[in-house]
Amino acid sequence: MDVRAQLSMVLHLDKCIGCHTCSVTCKNLWTNRKGTEYMWWNNVETRPGTGYPKNWEDQGKFRGGWEIKNGSLSLKSGSKWGILSRIFHNPDQPVMKDYYEPFTYDYANLTDAPESANQPIARAKSRITGESMNIEAGPNWDDDLGGSREYAAKDPNLTEEDRVLFGEFEKIFMMYLPRLCNHCLNPACAAACPSGSIYKRGEDGIVLNDQEKCRAWRYCVSACPYKKIYYNWDRGKSEKCIFCYPKSENGEPSACAHSCVGRIRYTGVLLYDYDRLIQVLEAPEETLVEALKSCILDPSDPEVKRHAKKAGIEPDWIQAAENSPVYAFVKEFGLALPLHPEFRTFPMVFYVPSLSPVLRKAETDMTMENFRIPVKYLASVFTAGNEAAVEDTLKKLLGIRSYMRGKELADKELMEKGISLSGWNGRELEKAYRLTSLTNFTGRFVIPKTRRENGSSYEMQGAEGFLDHGKNKR
């Protein structure tokens, strides 16, 4: 057993109000420089939709993530030598129009225009070329179903049957999906980087890009299936979310989590078994979610603690893992799911799927058609198509809601319904309710301070190892 520690995050989608406070905070802190105008390390997408950049989930187009090839994991973007052979030509990545061309307005024309019979205007100007332009897209162009027919109807997770729903107003559904770098356990970006500039820190699992080593090959952009690495057109370097490591090293939450109005974000430590990682990542898609969860270890297990100490994990990190809200969501209660596990990067940002708006009938009849958001759609996003795994999570969420409502109304029938749906007893249901609804600041963020001086002994480096999964090396 090779125990590693990882800082992780859970986002409770039922509480997200789509206000973009997280995105704006991150933007103001990290990407307010020249060359980063179009970068949104954290963004909030309205679903259904094509996302940001457009159609980032279409790996047939972008060839990001991993696939099982000849019985072992391989990059979809190609082998090490395949990447090197076309290092000066990389067509499998988004272009500027897949994001949006950053723009400003010619405000000076409003104040400096000479006297005229006509009202002066402020034309849109490209932040890149400085030329006049027509604005055709933006980072939140399709918010709140604003672009349903242009964006939502083109969501690759929708079935043809679902697309018909956009003509029936009473059946239209939407939810918000905040996204940031997943700081994956098996990052495809690190494997694809020819210069080895992207690496995963051993002490906390944060994936970073060494700006001194970066040579702007941009294979990290195409290899990341979530498209959470961006190219700075001014500096000629790739940049990405850094999990606000200057804050997390001091035991503080990231800017996006700290500023979240809906308090949907939880940050904590997970312990996982590195020895099992490759085996689990090669599991069939229908069992992938449970296989990935099997890698996550119980931090209160004495054997796990012993191996964690042997691996050099500090006692306060082990203690933080025991109190981790992320562990409670993902493993203890099974309420949080990974985003597109079929990409096989093992993302370390998890989501509690959206339960509302709930059709009233869903509380008494657990069938797919009684959920406003189709189970099949949620399964496509969070469980590689495994509808049973999504239904199990939704039943638990319904059980919590039913039990607590019954307790408030002194309705034993509702309380029993909650116990039946969730499979938990009353004490477990109340604990889950406190976790999902009432947790305070210190309960949502259990982040131990990082000791960088102890990290080098098990640092996971970049391209040299990640590419050779057939030999189970990094």
What are the 10-residue block averages of pLDDT along the chain, 474 residues in total? 95 95 96 94 93 92 91 86 78 90 91 87 91 88 76 82 64 88 96 93 94 93 96 95 95 96 97 91 92 95 95 94 97 97 96 77 60 88 95 93 92 92 95 95 94 52 39 34
Other CB atoms within 10 A of residue 429 CB: 25
- pLDDT at position 392, please? 94
Identity of residue 304: V
Domains in the chain, ordered, with CATH? 1-89+148-474 (3.30.70.20)
- pLDDT at position 470, please? 36
Instruction: Record the tokens describing residue 151, joined without a space.
Output: 């964006």
Report helix, strand or coil for 465: helix
Instruction: Record the tokens describing residue 32, joined without a space.
Output: 């307010």
Return the H-helix or E-strand segment holding 254: none
Instruction: Record the tokens describing residue 73, joined without a space.
Output: 């994991």
CA distances from 351 to 136, 190, 293, 338 (A): 31, 24, 14, 6
* Interatomic CA distance for residues 270 and 326, integer angstroms: 7
Identity of residue 270: L
The residue length of the chain stands at: 474
CA distances from 63 to 36, 93, 183, 387 (A): 24, 8, 19, 25
- Closest by CA position to 228, among listed 408, 421, 93: 93
* Interatomic CA distance for residues 471 and 452, integer angstroms: 29
* Interatomic CA distance for residues 447 and 269, integer angstroms: 7
Peptide bond preceding 48 in cis form (omega within 30 of 0) = yes
The model carries a pTM of 0.91
CA distances from 409 to 202, 405, 406, 414, 415 (A): 50, 6, 5, 9, 10
Phi and psi angles of residue 370, each rounded to the nearest 5 degrees, phi first? -90, 0
Report helix, strand or coil for 306: helix
Instruction: Record the tokens describing residue 128, joined without a space.
Output: 């890149």
Question: Which position has the token pair 């696939």?
Answer: 67
Peptide bond preceding 357 in cis form (omega within 30 of 0) = yes
